[in-house]
Amino acid sequence: MEPAPHRDSTRAGRPVRGRFAPTPNGPLHLGSVIAALASHLSARRRGGEWHVRIDDVDVARAVPGAADAILRELERLALPWDGPVVRQRNNTERYRDALARLERDGWTFRCACTRREAGPGPYPGTCRNAAPRRARSIRMKADTSIAFHDGVQGDVTVDLREETGDFIVYRADRVPAYHLSAAVDDGGLGVTEIVRGSDLLTSTGPQVHVQRALGLAEPACAHVPVATDASGAKLAKSSAAPPSAARPAAEVLRLALAFLGHRPPAGIDEPAGLVDWGVRNFDLARVPRVRAAALAGNPGRETGRGTARAPARS
Ligand SMILES: [Zn+2]
């Protein structure tokens, strides 16, 4: 299929397609808004599509109402998405099919280790060739190192033997693991680029490993810095980070743009206007090339009009 003429394309001529994939375990906070905005602007800058996927495959962890609250907040922030929202809980058959293919091709083995036996570091390989005990989880063999180019962090190599060892693709509670579900869904949706927080940088290695084993196309990736508070702690839904919905939308967008190295001119007061400015001006090269950075200490002041300073780098 020919891409529409106005669309830039990458990755063997496919139209640009980005995605935002929040876990519905709480409302969006500024840290997740930064990831959403970066992926939105990166895709839209080149005329691409932007999709939203709710990563609710782990039904037990999903907080009732959180997915709807996230979508409402994206709407408030003038970040419209394309197509229907993908819900991972509807895709379990796809994950089982992917698992069957990995099993058929000899990539997997059953692991009987408890969490304690498996230890905190890379999996020691205990069950790989052992006589079967009662299996708990299913692991994927990972005897390789994965090199990729990251649009923000540069060239990255993840040695799976040192980082994860043979990693879990199906958990003891029969929930597909993140590396499997994310790789399958990104492949299924034809995602061409993944822009997200650098806390997920090490996940890219296992995900690429799964994609290669399943013959799925590998999206390009860019990992933007993770926002921290003044003490260096990551802003996360699980921490006390306040929901972004507690602040005016334009203030949230200005904060997120500034964090990403972009300062829209004064006088743009509407969320849609700020996003539109971002779509026209977003450049990954201006995103600070660090893994983490403190979000401006006093967010209230950062929204002052007429700040045309160079982006703070830390
Ligand atoms: Zn084991």
With tokens 């498996």, the residue in question is 118
- Cα-to-centroid distance, 205 and ligand 1 (Å): 21
With tokens 């822009």, the residue in question is 195
How far apart, in Å, are the Cα atoms of 277 and each of 33, 43, 79, 129? 17, 14, 13, 56
Token readout for 137 is: 């989880």
Pairing state between β 86-87 and 49-54:
parallel
d(CA 71, CA 80): 9
Are 118 and 138 contacting, i.e. CB atoms less than 8 angstroms apart?
Answer: no
Question: The pTM is what?
Answer: 0.88
DSSP string for 16-75: PEEEE---SSS--BHHHHHHHHHHHHHHHHTT-EEEEEE---SGGGPPTTHHHHHHHHHH
pLDDT tens digits, one per residue of 210-220:
999 999 999 99
Domain parsing of the chain, residue ranges: 9-88+182-302
- Cα-to-centroid distance, 202 and ligand 1 (Å): 22
- Cα-to-centroid distance, 25 and ligand 1 (Å): 29
- Cα-to-centroid distance, 117 and ligand 1 (Å): 7
- Cα-to-centroid distance, 48 and ligand 1 (Å): 43
Fold classification of 9-88+182-302 is Rossmann fold (3.40.50)
- Cα-to-centroid distance, 125 and ligand 1 (Å): 7
Q: Which pLDDT score, from 0 to 100, does residue 239 have?
A: 62
- Cα-to-centroid distance, 62 and ligand 1 (Å): 28
Q: Of 102, 185, 98, which Cα lies nearest the Cα of 141? A: 102
Q: pLDDT below 70 — which residues of the chain?
A: 1-13, 237-240, 297-314
With tokens 């009732």, the residue in question is 64
Q: Which pLDDT score, from 0 to 100, does residue 240 have?
A: 64
- Cα-to-centroid distance, 128 and ligand 1 (Å): 7
